[in-house]
Chains A and B, each alone.
Chain A
Amino acid sequence: MNALNLACMALFVPVIVAGLMWLVPPLRTRGRIGAYLSVLAALASTCSALVLFGMQRAAPNTVILDAQTHWLTREGRSMADVGFYLDGVSTSMLVVVCVVALLVQIFSLGYMADEPPAAFGRYFTYHSLFLFSMAGLVVAPNLLQLFMCWELVGLASYLLIGFYFKKPSAARAAVKAFWITKFADMGLLLGIIILYTQTGSFDWGPEAIATLTASGMATTVGLLLFLAIMGKSAQFPLHLWLPDAMEGPTPVSALLHAATMVAAGVYLGVRAMPVFAASEDTLFVMAHIGGFTALFAACVAVVQTDIKKVLAYSTCSQLGYMVAALGTGEIVGGYFHLTTHAYFKALLFLAAGSIIHGVHSNQLQHMGGLFSKMKITAITFIIGALALAGFPGTAGFFSKDLILEQLLHAELYFPYACGMIAAFLTAFYMGRVVFLAFFGTPSAAAEEAHESDLAMTIPLLVLAVLSLGIGYFGTSLAGLYGAEYHFHLSPTGLAASALGLLGIVMSWLAFGRSPGLNLSAFEPIGNLIRYGATDRVFKAAYERILLGASAILAWIDRYIIDGLMNWSAYITVIGGRELRGSQTGRIMDYVYFLVFGLLVLSASGWIGR
């Protein structure tokens, strides 16, 4: 099979399955059949993605497939092309997306087994739709196709967050995610429109960017596109939707809100790097917002009591690292971290899902002592946590150190400092989760817990192997798109690892030992963070500023605009009431008026003569 057929298979098999399940209700409502179809589609996509990856390995740093078809043809000229563009970046991203999607779908077979069949089928329909959209985004040859698929993944995210739509909080979270990302997507749309008006194409290639820079719009377009990245990749202050998105089923959080969909923003940054690199200001903004998000979200993660919320803020924080790394103008650090993070964060979420499946609660205080009850889950979770904390030798160690080194090299000291502190905090909060959930005295719910079935543990094991191993392939992965990366021990890397180890030790002192470290001195800070992190600050701002302005406008509307209307209506009514007496209905009176009018006319004619 050639590359085009494989790419078509990776992209279209899931959407055909999704369409079938949508059009043929029994497939969906019977549950299992549709689910197996969907998993098979994901398997087909994964296989073709892996074969494509093999082709890419054989020819690194080349475009293995560039097949585009004209779309919106007008006056013999195509306004836009759609199709496939597979090079080192998109092929490896396609593999990440397909592999994680496949593993998450297999995990869901076990995790969602208690759902009613119709809901089960619906869940897998959305998953197939998501896989198509995300694969379409990854292989997009230009910004227009990327935008379409960008919106489609947003739709899939909305549907899956609101999967338990009978739960008001889930429905609200879905709408909230939709609105915030939609707000950010305005930036993407405007950026694309400006790009098109300036260059006449939707390309992000160097020629188009040269034209854009010449027109002086590079910074505008770059910042607008960055707004979209902030929304999709949950950068401060548009991160608000991501913690709420945890209302969705846990495998959804693993796939969409940790590994792939939220990484789409970073992926856009990687793909459209020429646009961003054309303007120093855009890069500066990216690095600083990313760095701040990394630190801020890590602080918030420390004080969360819900295991999924910890992981959600951790995702924010790690995405912050990636965005900050893109702010150096080089793609290799951010992209490498995207790849490693996808595996270990998916692992963490799925393991958390396995725990939640066991104890039927998200709250950390309902867990404890689970290590002996759920050995595979515990070990894989700890592997994921170590990878996230950047423990030497794991995947996160390599990619995080690369980012920090890049930031230092680019002399971006603020993001660098944020990244360093966040490295410590990351280890600390992950240690906290591990010690609270797996060690210590079990709660009543945790006593009942038992290991999940094979459909759930096998994906965990696969992801654990990937989380441990993927870091060693950094050089060859970077080589696929022509970037240079060689691991070497540097002071930065050593410092970050030391900070990580310190974080783990601190968390053991605080939460692992039986008389834990007394943390009551930090309680006010914790409360402050908790207060600042929740939506309350934003809600207050929303109520004060937006609702205040709305109240003023409402007053003007009610009393001035409506007042004018009511006043004119009132005048008309009063005038009518006063004048109705003149209409006597008697014929003679009308004749009198007629004659009177005649006299007035004659008199005025006489005077004006």
Chain B
Amino acid sequence: MIPTLQSYLLLGSGIFCLGLFAALSRRNAVGLLVGIELMANGVNLNLVAFSRFTGLVDYQVFALFSIALTVAEVVVGLAIVILIFRHHRSIDTDLVSEFEG
């Protein structure tokens, strides 16, 4: 069976939803970051699938940009997580509520 565009899109949105679920449900900050990473990669998969099925390279360029952005975001995110850990001796996101109004 030759995979169609739909199956790639379904897979991409499945990965996105898994990532969203992880981001919403995990109270561990690293888990949160991993969830966000999954969401981004679900989107990247969509882009690459579009590129494959339309023959345009534009989508691949977008995917490359997205990857670079994701890497940068993870760098900043992990740095924040490390600082939170130093401060609270924990990375439970519920503990971090200094900005409460």
Given A588-B93, A588-B94, residue A583 in contact with residue B99 (CB < 8 A): yes
- Contact: A588 with B101, CB < 8 Å? no
Given the interface pairs A586-B94, A586-B96, A587-B32, the reply to whether A592 lies near B24 with Cβ below 8 Å is yes
Q: How far is the CB of B73 from chain A (nearest CB, A)?
A: 14
B23 within 8 A of A: yes
Do A583 and B100 form a contact, CB below 8 Å, given A588-B93, A588-B94?
A: yes
Give bound CA distance, A591 to B101, whole Å.
Answer: 17
Q: How far is the CA of A592 from the CA of B29 in the complex (A)?
A: 15
Q: Do residues B24 and A581 form an inter-chain contact, with CB atoms below 8 A?
A: no
Are the C-beta atoms of B24 and A585 separated by less than 8 Å? no
Question: Are A581 and B101 neighbours in the complex by a CB distance under 8 Å?
Answer: yes
Kindly identify, within residues 568 to 593 of chain A, every residue whose CB is under 8 Å from any CB belonging to chain B. Answer: 579-588, 591-592
Contacts A586-B94, A595-B24 given; does A580 touch B32 at CB 8 Å: no
Q: Which residues of B contact A585 (CB under 8 A)?
A: 96-101
Q: Do B101 and A587 touch across chains, with their CB atoms under 8 A apart?
A: no
Q: Is B52 an interface residue (CB 8 A)?
A: no
CB nearest neighbor in A for B36: A591
- B55-96, CB under 8 A of A: which get 1 and which 0? 000000000000000000000000000000000000001101
Closest CB of chain B to A609's CB: distance in Å?
18
Decide: A595 near B100, CB < 8 A? Known: A586-B94, A588-B93.
no
A493 to B99, CA, bound (A): 99
Contact A580 B101 (CB under 8 A): yes
User: Which residues of chain B have C-beta atoms less than 8 A from A586's C-beta?
Assistant: 93-94, 96-97, 100
Distance in Å: Cβ of B72 to nearest Cβ of chain A = 19
State which of A579, A581, A583, A588 has its C-beta within 8 Å of the C-beta of B27: A588
What residue in chain A is nearest B94 (Cβ atoms)?
Answer: A586
Q: Which residues of B contact A583 (CB under 8 A)?
A: 99-101
How far does the alpha carbon of A587 sit from the alpha carbon of B28 in the complex, in Å?
11
Complex Cα distance, B24 from A595, in Å, reads 9
A585, B96: Cα distance in complex, Å: 7
Binary A-proximity of B39-63 (CB < 8 A = 1, otherwise 0): 0000000000000000000000000
Decide yes or no whether B30 CB sits under 8 A from chain A. Answer: no
Nearest-CB residue, chain A, relative to B95: A586
A582 touches B24 (CB 8 A): no
Q: Is the interface of A mostly helix, strand, loop or mixed?
A: helix
Cα distance, A177 to B24, chains bound together (Å): 81
Interface string of B3-20 (1 = CB under 8 A from A): 000000000000000001
Q: How far is the CA of A580 from the CA of B93 in the complex (A)?
A: 20
Residues on the A chain within 8 Å of B24, using CB: 588, 591-592, 595
Size range of the interface on A? 10 to 19
A168 to chain B, nearest CB (A): 58
**C-alpha gap A457/B32 in the complex (Å):** 108
Q: Which residue of A lies closest to B100 (CB)?
A: A585
Q: Give A592 to B100 CA distance when docked, in angstroms.
A: 16
Distance in Å: Cβ of A593 to nearest Cβ of chain B:
11
Cα distance A595–B101 in the bound complex, in angstroms: 21
For the complex, what is the distance from the CA of A583 to the CA of B23, rounded to whole Å?
Answer: 19
Q: Is the CB of B23 within 8 A of A587?
A: no
State whether A591 and B99 are in contact (beta carbons under 8 Å apart), knowing that A586-B93, A586-B94 are contacts in the complex.
no
**CA of A585 to CA of B93, assembled, Å:** 10
Residue of A579, A586, A592 with most partner-chain B CB within 10 A: A586
Contacts of B29 in A (CB 8 A): 587
Closest to A576 in B: B101
Chain B residues contacting A591 (CB-CB under 8 Å) are 23-24, 32
Q: Which residue of B lies closest to A583 (CB)?
A: B101
Chain A residues near B32 (CB-CB < 8 A):
587, 591
CB distance from A584 to the nearest CB of B (A): 6
Q: Is the CB of B100 within 8 A of A584?
A: yes
Cβ contacts under 8 Å, B101 to chain A: 579-585
Q: How far is the CB of B94 from chain A (nearest CB, A)?
A: 6
**Cα separation A165 to B101 with both chains bound (whole Å):** 61
Most chain A Cβ neighbours within 10 Å, of B32, B96, B100: B100
Distance in angstroms from B40 CB to nearest chain A CB is 14
Q: How far is the CB of A577 from chain B (nearest CB, A)?
A: 10
What distance in Å separates the Cβ of B98 from its nearest Cβ neighbour in chain A? 6
Proximity string of chain A (301-333) to chain B, C-beta cutoff 8 Å, 1 when within and 0 when not: 000000000000000000000000000000000
A584 and B97 CA atoms in complex are apart in Å by 7
Bound form: Cα–Cα A591–B25 in Å: 10
- Chain A residues within 8 Å of B93, by CB: 586-588
Point out the residues of chain A lying under 8 angstroms from B96, CB to CB.
585-587
Complex-state Cα separation, A581 to B94, whole angstroms: 16
Closest Cβ of chain B: how far from A594's Cβ, in Å?
9
Give min CB distance, B33 to chain A, whole Å: 11
Docked Cα-Cα span, A591 to B24, in Å, equals 7
The complex places the Cα of A130 from the Cα of B65 at a distance, in Å, of 85
Q: Within the complex, what minimum Cβ distance (angstroms) separates B3 from chain A?
A: 26
Across-interface contacts of B27 in A (CB, < 8 A): 588
Q: Which residue of B lies closest to A577 (CB)?
A: B101
A587 / chain B contacts, CB cutoff of 8 Å: 29, 32, 93, 96
**20 pairs of residues in contact across A and B, judged by CB atoms under 8 Å:** A580-B101, A581-B101, A583-B99, A584-B97, A585-B96, A585-B99, A586-B93, A586-B96, A586-B97, A587-B29, A587-B32, A587-B93, A588-B24, A588-B94, A591-B23, A591-B24, A591-B32, A592-B24, A595-B20, A595-B24
- Chain A interface residues toward B at CB < 8 A: 579-588, 591-592, 595
Task: Enumerate the 5 nearest inter-chain pairs by beta-carbon distance, A residue then B residue, closest first.
Answer: A583-B101, A585-B100, A585-B97, A580-B101, A585-B99
